[in-house]
Structure 1
């Protein structure tokens, strides 16, 4: 029956798409009901779990409280035993006390009972026969001892440092009158806490006062902390060796939610089957002991809550569905009756509307006929206008053809090559001059790529230039083409982008000029220049050799001259010839055959003169301060070289006659705008104060005076601290020859 109802409702809904709001209303009601069901079920289930969990905790708490109370009483009884008090005062008969403690420990069900003196050292123990006997061990670091020795009984949970087994310690001070003479301790195994654990639904966590889990029915939680411990608490536990070497990590609580006084924890655990971390929700309940030295927590899994919610939601959904389907069927039946009545009324209205529509359409047809006659008249007028436009267009077309014919004749008769390319560098047009330039016919060049008429090197250059032009840039470059007979043709190309009527670039248009003959003339000119350069270099070389030959002949003649006056004259002449020869040697070795490096020339010349005229060059300190990267021609280098030769010779002959060892000669050359400033100075005896260079009889100074005039320069003498000669001359004016 339910299936039939569903099918019937489905058919009705398919036929009645316009009732979708009804479906949406049903969905909203279902979702609202399910939401209310979820909240109510969750709250009810959580409250039931809370009540059950608290009942279990209270039962277990009462069980543990009774146990703990008995343990304190047993330790108090042992501490009040007169035999124990006497032993603590005088620990002499340990064997008797050990046996007594053994029987007492068995009677109370402890793990071990032992007595410590006030220093914390164990003096008697019930496990005296065990290899792990406590006798002689000092446990003064334990908190239970530190409290009991101060007169305060204490309970303590820890891992034994000797037995390595966890236990519950009950400590009580042994008092003689008002004096504490020792401490008795009874250690109980933690299995005394376990009888009731298996009966509890959930994960039971027994924690100490620091929230460290020391017992649980799920071993994965043992020696974990419910909260993150502070560094101070961790250090305190380590010092007391309460849990040995256990790391005490916190339980991985991802999220804590509080709702209606209930605490829900989200804990991440490792799923051994799926081998991945999973998050689970637990209801967190707690119970505290009366002295707050240990607590009980219970984690109740909430997976059952989700199952109950899902079941209740399913029940509500099924009930709402049945109610909805019954309502839909009843609603559809009433709609059918209403729809039948409405259709009859609508049919009458439609008939009346059709009659009115026929009348209106008849009137409209009359209007359409009138409009059509008007349109025919307008169409005839438009056709006449079109005919006139066609005549005007034919006239313009004829004028365009005439203009194009003139342009084509101009291009074809041009002596310059005309070359047109599309976007892919394919030839779309060449004039006869262009085809003749490369030895082809126009037909042979059309449709071929530009690069078919080039060698590899030209292709690489041209590809870049073509890209530039096709991107809208005008280019003027030199290039090469291959003639049909294999010759290389040098051309000058002016290329511009070719655009259509919309301004879009469709290719390129170039004017090509044959510059092969000009290139050949340039090559011939370069060869002629190189030949003249070689001839000029050879001329400088021969002049240098001839001058060196003259200097050598003077040197040979000098060997036969004994008169010192004549010898000096020969040496001076030889140095003059050498200064000129050195210029031609520098020109011969220079890339620029018209000019020499003035810095290098002056440095070499000065060193050669000092070497030729001074027997001991070590006594002369030559200082050069010559501006670098200055080149001069022969017309300036020759007179300057001779001037330096004469002035250096004069300084070496006359300035240092007293045999001094601090001889210093300086040569400086500076450039100021269009002037050279040449300075030659020494720290010798100094030239005569009444010397007039224009009237002197010294051949050397006469030569200097003539050469300065030749340079169109001026000369000045400074006789302070030796002799300083400054010569200023222009570098841009012609020198007197």
Structure 2
């Protein structure tokens, strides 16, 4: 029996290892497929943002070239008065369109007017005839080019167009567009995004150490083509230390950073018009961890199943053995009875002895049967259980430190400091209790139920959360709460989420303005409670007021939000049975109004 159990255990172990390896491969492929889809979405968003930003300026050089001031200057490029008028005009257009620089060149490549004419890095008098965007525009073509400025040392994307008069090309006008805003939005994310040129040199990236690094070998031909156009001016190019591999059927890129090496799943998409390739790298560490975790879980589950199977098999074997013993005992009893009956028939003189022997045999049989029953009672199975415990080492360690410090403070007579430590210990205990309560609520109640909520407490907790943002914006917050304000029907955590979002938006609106006041007020009337948040920002134009609560609608710049905050807040308040609206204040600024129902008496009693 022992050998059979061992054989079954070994067989389960072998099958478990084989199945675990197959599960690992399946999970890894599934996770990598999902990661590739996620990286593809990030790539499409990045390409759309870049393409949309560039298309804003694509037609502007040709339109500006037809302006009368430009045409007059290009016919008389040596006229200083015309140059001054053109410089001022280009500066005003540059400020209006928020481009980096605008400048005009004659057919020999000399700049005669520029929007930065009055800056230390003025382009006036500089010759850019070596640039491809000048050469192509001089041939009558509209051109696009990205490079590092040789005068300003700033990266930018250049749009150029010929200045044509009476069918003759007299000059070239150039718009330089700054891409730093989009690039800044890529920094700090989970994915690595970078843009490379046709020579494989990284031109834009959220990682400073990768900028101007090459993902393709820096061959003499590539270096020569780059130096001819002076695309990167005097910037020193370097090779990015990378190699290629594969994981779960997907090609990966391995990049070294010192002695460490990180593996990335990468996807890319070319932008032919811009001459770029946009690349997105996603770290595969989480995918590998997920596959290994699933493999370990499957292996443990199979081991547990094998153990249960062995226990069941052993129990059945013991039951079979017990039944065999009972059958043998019964056969033995019948044989002896037959023998005794035959002996009694043959020898009447030994009848009493045979009867006594039979009774003794019966007693032995009963004893044997009793022993078998007792052995059956002693045969049982153990039950295994596992419990998940959450450690709270950090709060406990902090409480211990405060407790030890409190003893020293008392010895030194610093009673107030000791009292403050005791309060902090109490707060840590409350925090541990709150953690336990939240974990229990998470297991039993996935969704927060509505109840009687104190608006004053929610506003106070909200201010604690957004205080850092208000300080960063240098905003002044004013709070007015009507005395005796009744409780409202809501969820405290979700109502706090709504207020945090609205107050944060108000801080964004007033940041950098002269008047940075934000007013928060709460008052009750006719079984309703109104919470008003007013800022002194630019307000919400009537044209977009009806769309302000739509998902993914935002007035912020690229990389500063997805436009989901107000949409989520609107639906949270709607779930409370209330309403969220926005208007413009007559004196300027936006006014967000939250209307909630007062909690009825039964809910109030339950809350108390």
TM-score (norm 2): 0.50
Identify the match of residue 65 of structure 1 among 22, 38, 51: 51
> How far apart in 1 are the matches of 2:133 and 2:173?
10
Gapped regions of structure 2 (runs ≥ 5): 329-608
Structure 1 equivalent of residue 29 of structure 2: 43
Q: Higher relative CO (CA 8 A, sep ≥ 6), structure 1 or 2?
A: 2
Identify the match of residue 131 of structure 2 among 100, 121, 142: 142
Q: Does 1:125 align with 2:107?
A: no
Q: Does 1:321 align with 2:303?
A: yes
Identify the match of residue 96 of structure 2 among 97, 107, 120: 107
1:585-638 C-alpha deviation (Å, 9 max, x unpaired): xxxxxxxxxxxxxxxxxxxxxxxxxxxxxxxxxxxxxxxxxxxxxxxxxxxxxx
Structure 2 equivalent of residue 335 of structure 1: 317
1:520-545 C-alpha deviation (Å, 9 max, x unpaired): xxxxxxxxxxxxxxxxxxxxxxxxxx
Structure 1 equivalent of residue 202 of structure 2: 213
Shift, 1:192, TM fit: 3.5
Shift, 1:193, TM fit: 2.2
> How far apart in 2 are the matches of 1:196 and 1:80?
35
1:134-175 C-alpha deviation (Å, 9 max, x unpaired): 111111111111221112222222111111121221211111
> How far apart in 1 are the matches of 2:182 and 2:139?
29
> How far apart in 2 are the matches of 1:200 and 1:59?
14
Contact 1:60 1:196 in 2 (8 A): no
Gapped regions of structure 1 (runs ≥ 5): 1-14, 271-276, 347-737
> How far apart in 1 are the matches of 2:288 and 2:46?
28
1:193-246 C-alpha deviation (Å, 9 max, x unpaired): 236425854000012232221111111111012211432221121122211233
Structure 1 equivalent of residue 179 of structure 2: 190
1:446-501 C-alpha deviation (Å, 9 max, x unpaired): xxxxxxxxxxxxxxxxxxxxxxxxxxxxxxxxxxxxxxxxxxxxxxxxxxxxxxxx
> How far apart in 1 are the matches of 2:264 and 2:120?
45
Q: Does 1:203 align with 2:192?
A: yes
Identify the match of residue 252 of structure 2 among 242, 264, 274: 264
Higher CA-based Rg:
1
Contact 2:185 2:206 in 1 (8 A): no
SS of structure 2 residue aligned to 1:255? strand
> How far apart in 2 are the matches of 1:319 and 1:109?
62
1:309-337 C-alpha deviation (Å, 9 max, x unpaired): 12212321232122111100111123335
Structure 2 equivalent of residue 720 of structure 1: none
> How far apart in 1 are the matches of 2:88 and 2:198?
34
> How far apart in 1 are the matches of 2:23 and 2:172?
62
Contact 2:28 2:248 in 1 (8 A): no
SS of structure 2 residue aligned to 1:197? coil
Aligned runs of 1:260-409 on 2, under 5 Å?
Answer: 262-270=250-258, 277-291=259-273, 293-337=275-319
Structure 1 equivalent of residue 159 of structure 2: 170
Shift, 1:339, TM fit: 5.7
Shift, 1:293, TM fit: 0.8
> How far apart in 1 are the matches of 2:171 and 2:157?
20
> How far apart in 2 are the matches of 1:166 and 1:290?
19
1:378-397 C-alpha deviation (Å, 9 max, x unpaired): xxxxxxxxxxxxxxxxxxxx
> How far apart in 2 are the matches of 1:55 and 1:210?
25
Structure 1 equivalent of residue 64 of structure 2: 78
Contact 2:102 2:176 in 1 (8 A): yes
> How far apart in 1 are the matches of 2:324 and 2:207?
74
TM-score (norm 1): 0.42
Aligned length: 326
Shift, 1:122, TM fit: 0.8
Cα gap change, 1:264 to 1:112, in 2 (>3 Å): same
Structure 2 equivalent of residue 236 of structure 1: 225
Contact 1:209 1:292 in 2 (8 A): no
